Amino acid sequence: MIDNRRLFARHYRAKRSPLQSENGSFQFDWVPAWENMGSFWLFALVVAAALTGIAGASLIYDLNGNWTIIRADGDYIIGRVPGGIYTDLMNAGVIDDVFFGYNDNSSRWIGRRNWTYCTAVELNETIKAYQQRNIVFEGLDTYADVYLNGIRIGSSNNMFVRYVFDVRDALEVGKNNITVVFRSPIEAALELYQKQLERYRVPQECPNDVYNGECHVNMLRKMQASFSWDWGPAFPSVGIWKDTYIEAFNVALMRDLVTHVVEKDDTTWSFYADIYFEAGGTDTVTGTVLLTIKLDSSTMQWRKDVNATRNGYGELVWNTTLTIPKNQAKFWWPNGYGSQNLYEFTVDFQRLPDEEPQTRTIKVGFRTVELVQDNLDDGATFYFKVNGVPIFAKGSNEIPISILPERGTDPQAARTLLQQAKEVHMNMLRVWGGGVYESDEFYQAADELGIMIWQDFMFACSMYPVNDEYLESVKTEVNLNLKRIYSHPSIVVYAGNNENEGALADNWYDTSENYSLYKRDYVTLYIDTVKAEFDKVTKGRGIFVSSSPSNGKQAQADGWVSKSPGSSKYGDVHYYNYLTDAWSTTTYPVPRFCSEYGYQSFPFQSSWLTTTNNITELYINGKFMSYRQHHPLGNAEMDLLILENLNLPSFDSVNYTRGIFYLSQVLQSQAIRIETEHYRRYRSYLNENGEGYTMGALYWQLNDVWVAPTWSSIDFTGRWKMLHYFAKDMFSPVIITAHIDWQPSGHVKVYTVNDQLSVLENVTLVTKVFKYDSPDFQPMNENRTLLTLAPACSELRDTIKIDEYLSSYNCGSLQTADQNCFFYFELEKDGSPISPSNYIFPVKLKYSNLSSPDVKVSSVKKTGTRVFEIVVTSTNIALFVWLDSQDVRGRFSKNGFLLVQPTRTLWFYSDQEDVQADQLQRSLDLTHLKDSKWS
Ligand SMILES: *[C@@H]1O[C@H](CO)[C@@H](O)[C@H](O)[C@H]1NC(C)=O
Ligand SMILES: *[C@@H]1O[C@H](CO)[C@@H](O)[C@H](O)[C@H]1NC(C)=O
Ligand SMILES: *[C@@H]1O[C@H](CO)[C@@H](O)[C@H](O)[C@H]1NC(C)=O
Ligand SMILES: *[C@@H]1O[C@H](CO)[C@@H](O)[C@H](O)[C@H]1NC(C)=O
Ligand SMILES: *[C@@H]1O[C@H](CO)[C@@H](O)[C@H](O)[C@H]1NC(C)=O
Ligand SMILES: *[C@@H]1O[C@H](CO)[C@@H](O)[C@H](O)[C@H]1NC(C)=O
Q: Which residues of 299-332 are buried (b: 16+ CB within 10 A; e: fewer)?
A: bbbbbbebebeeeeeebbbbebebebeeebbbbb
Which helix (H) or strand (E) covers residue 855, if one does?
strand 855-862
> Among 225-229, 242-246, 562-566, 931-935, whose mean pLDDT is lowest?
931-935
Give the model confidence (pLDDT) of 302-333 as tens digits.
Answer: 999 999 999 988 999 999 999 999 999 999 99
**Active site residue: 278, 441, 596, 675, which one?**
596
Which ligand is closest in space to the CA of residue 143? 1
Is the confidence at residue 18, as pLDDT, over 50? no
Distance 355 CA to ligand 4 centre (A): 19
Fold classified for 369-730: TIM Barrel (3.20.20)
Q: Please state the rounded mean pLDDT for residues 34-59.
A: 40
Tell me which residue has its CA closest to atom 5 in ligand 3.
61
Distances (CA, A) of 620 to 162, 616, 633, 709, 861: 45, 9, 13, 11, 36
Strands 393-398 and 428-431: parallel
Q: Establish whether 596 is a catalytic residue.
A: yes
Q: CB of 151 closer than 6 A to ligand 2?
A: no
Tell me which residue has its CA closest to atom 9 in ligand 2.
118
Q: Please state the rounded mean pLDDT for residues 673-692.
A: 98
- Note the pLDDT of residue 87: 98
Residue 619 CA: nearest ligand 6 atom is 4
- Note the pLDDT of residue 894: 97
Which ligand is closest in space to the CA of residue 306? 4
Residue 305 CA: nearest ligand 4 atom is 14
Q: CB of 54 closer than 6 A to ligand 2?
A: no
**Active site residue: 247, 278, 477, 499, which one?**
499
Please report which confidence band the pLDDT of residue 832 belongs to, taking 50, 70 and 90 as the band edges.
Answer: very high
Tell me which residue has its CA closest to atom 6 in ligand 1.
183
Please report which confidence band the pLDDT of residue 35 belongs to, taking 50, 70 and 90 as the band edges.
Answer: very low
Distance 57 CA to ligand 3 centre (A): 13
Please report which confidence band the pLDDT of residue 7 belongs to, taking 50, 70 and 90 as the band edges.
Answer: very low
- Note the pLDDT of residue 773: 87
Fold classified for 4-184+238-246: Jelly Rolls (2.60.120)
> Among 69-78, 206-215, 601-610, whose mean pLDDT is lowest?
69-78
Distance 316 CA to ligand 3 centre (A): 30
Distance 636 CA to ligand 6 centre (A): 23
- Note the pLDDT of residue 451: 98
Given the candidates 2.60.40.10, 3.40.1000.10, 3.40.50.11890, 2.40.50.840, the CATH classification of the domain at 855-927 is: 2.60.40.10
Distance 269 CA to ligand 4 centre (A): 29
| 504 class by beta-carbon count within 10 Å (0-12 exposed, 13-18 middle, 19+ buried) | buried
Pocket test for ligand 4, best of 306, 309, 351 (most atoms within 8 A of CB): 309
CA quadruple 474, 476, 478, 480: dihedral positive or negative?
negative
DSSP 517-528: HHHHHHIIIIII
Give the model confidence (pLDDT) of 56-103 as tens digits.
Answer: 578 999 999 999 999 777 789 999 999 999 999 999 999 999 999 999
Q: Which residues pair with 346 in a beta bridge?
A: 292, 361
Show me where the domains of the chain are located: 4-184+238-246, 253-354, 369-730, 734-847, 855-927
| 689 class by beta-carbon count within 10 Å (0-12 exposed, 13-18 middle, 19+ buried) | exposed
Distances (CA, A) of 842 to 27, 467, 640, 769, 837: 68, 58, 20, 11, 17
Q: CB of 539 closer than 6 A to ligand 5?
A: yes
Q: Tell me the backbone φ, ψ of residue 412, rounded to 5 degrees.
A: -70, -40
Pocket test for ligand 3, best of 124, 175, 176, 247 (most atoms within 8 A of CB): 124
CA angle 559, 562, 566 (to 5 degrees): 150
Q: HEC profile for 50-108? A: HHHCCCCCCEEEECCEEEEEECCCCCEEEEEECCCHHHHHHHCCCCCCCCCCCHHHHCC
Which amino acid makes up residue 11?
Answer: H
Q: CB of 622 closer than 6 A to ligand 6?
A: yes
- Note the pLDDT of residue 56: 56
Please report which confidence band the pLDDT of residue 556 belongs to, taking 50, 70 and 90 as the band edges.
Answer: very high
Q: Please state the rounded mean pLDDT for residues 607-614.
A: 96
Tell me which residue has its CA closest to atom 8 in ligand 6.
616
Question: pTM surpassing 0.85?
Answer: yes
CA quadruple 358, 362, 364, 369: dihedral positive or negative?
negative
Is the confidence at residue 352, as pLDDT, over 70? yes
Q: CB of 183 closer than 6 A to ligand 1?
A: yes
Tell me which residue has its CA closest to atom 1 in ligand 3.
124
Residue 120 CA: nearest ligand 2 atom is 13
Which ligand is closest in space to the CA of residue 101? 6
379: closest CA among 792, 692, 793? 692
For 733, which DSSP code? S
Q: HEC profile for 440-459? A: HHHHHHHHHHCCEEEEECCC
% pLDDT > 70, the chain: 94
Distance 182 CA to ligand 1 centre (A): 9
Is the confidence at residue 924, as pLDDT, over 80? yes
Which ligand is closest in space to the CA of residue 619? 6
Domains 4-184+238-246 and 253-354 equal at CATH topology level? no
Q: Please state the rounded mean pLDDT for residues 643-663.
A: 91
Distance 128 CA to ligand 2 centre (A): 23
Distance 178 CA to ligand 2 centre (A): 8
| Cβ atoms within 10 Å of 74's Cβ, excluding its own | 6
Q: Please state the rounded mean pLDDT for residues 832-847.
A: 96
Is the confidence at residue 756, as pLDDT, over 60? yes
Q: CB of 101 closer than 6 A to ligand 6?
A: no
- Note the pLDDT of residue 12: 24
Residue 59 CA: nearest ligand 3 atom is 4
Q: Please state the rounded mean pLDDT for residues 533-548.
A: 97
User: Could you give the maximum distance between any two Cα atoms of the chain, in Å?
Assistant: 95
Q: CB of 286 closer than 6 A to ligand 4?
A: yes
Between 13 and 539, residue with greater pLDDT = 539
| Cβ atoms within 10 Å of 723's Cβ, excluding its own | 29
8 Å CB contact between 344 and 363? yes
Distance 32 CA to ligand 1 centre (A): 60
Which ligand is closest in space to the CA of residue 305? 4
Which ligand is closest in space to the CA of residue 49? 3
Please report which confidence band the pLDDT of residue 745 belongs to, taking 50, 70 and 90 as the band edges.
Answer: confident
Given the candidates 2.40.10.10, 2.60.40.10, 3.40.50.300, 3.40.50.2300, the CATH classification of the domain at 734-847 is: 2.60.40.10
Distance 24 CA to ligand 3 centre (A): 42
CA distance 345 to 259: 10
Please report which confidence band the pLDDT of residue 521 belongs to, taking 50, 70 and 90 as the band edges.
Answer: very high
Q: Residue ranges of the alpha helices (H) in 159-216?
A: 185-197
Q: Tell me the backbone φ, ψ of residue 761, rounded to 5 degrees.
A: -105, 165
Distance 627 CA to ligand 6 centre (A): 15
- Residue 265 CA to chain centroid, in angstroms? 33
Q: Residue ranges of the alpha helices (H) in 758-906?
A: 802-807
Q: CB of 284 closer than 6 A to ligand 4?
A: yes
| 26 class by beta-carbon count within 10 Å (0-12 exposed, 13-18 middle, 19+ buried) | middle
Residue 145 CA: nearest ligand 1 atom is 5
Please report which confidence band the pLDDT of residue 19 belongs to, taking 50, 70 and 90 as the band edges.
Answer: very low
Is the confidence at residue 9, as pLDDT, over 50? no
Which amino acid makes up residue 459?
Answer: F
Distance 165 CA to ligand 2 centre (A): 19
| Cβ atoms within 10 Å of 22's Cβ, excluding its own | 11
Q: Please state the rounded mean pLDDT for residues 919-924.
A: 96
- Residue 901 CA to chain centroid, in angstroms? 38
CB hemisphere CA count around 364 (13 angstroms): 29
Please report which confidence band the pLDDT of residue 743 belongs to, taking 50, 70 and 90 as the band edges.
Answer: confident
- Note the pLDDT of residue 52: 36
Fold classified for 253-354: Immunoglobulin-like (2.60.40)
Residue 286 CA: nearest ligand 4 atom is 13
Is the confidence at residue 476, as pLDDT, over 90? yes
DSSP 305-347: EEEEEE-TTS-EEEEEEEEEEGGGSPBB--TTTS-B--EEEEE
Which residues 6+ apart lie within 8 Å of 632 measured at CB? 208, 210
Residue 623 CA: nearest ligand 6 atom is 5
Is the confidence at residue 20, as pLDDT, over 60? no
Is the confidence at residue 812, as pLDDT, over 90? no
Is the confidence at residue 803, as pLDDT, over 90? no
Q: What is the mean pLDDT of the chain?
A: 92
Is the confidence at residue 17, as pLDDT, over 90? no
8 Å CB contact between 286 and 307? yes
315: closest CA among 545, 539, 487, 469? 539
470: closest CA among 221, 182, 193, 139? 221
Q: CB of 120 closer than 6 A to ligand 2?
A: yes
Tell me which residue has its CA closest to atom 4 in ligand 5.
539
8 Å CB contact between 296 and 329? yes
Residue 184 CA: nearest ligand 1 atom is 1
Residue 614 CA: nearest ligand 6 atom is 1
8 Å CB contact between 492 and 431? no
Give the model confidence (pLDDT) of 399-450 as tens digits.
Answer: 999 999 999 999 999 999 999 999 999 999 999 999 999 999 999 999 999 9
- Note the pLDDT of residue 23: 34
CA distance 71 to 184: 12
8 Å CB contact between 754 and 856? no
Which ligand is closest in space to the CA of residue 175? 2
Q: Please state the rounded mean pLDDT for residues 184-197.
A: 98
Tell me which residue has its CA closest to atom 12 in ligand 4.
307
Is the confidence at residue 125, as pLDDT, over 80? yes
Is the confidence at residue 919, as pLDDT, over 70? yes
Tell me which residue has its CA closest to atom 2 in ligand 3.
124
Q: CB of 53 closer than 6 A to ligand 3?
A: yes
DSSP 3-state assignment of 675?
helix
Terminal C-alpha separation, the chain? 53
Is the confidence at residue 39, as pLDDT, over 80? no
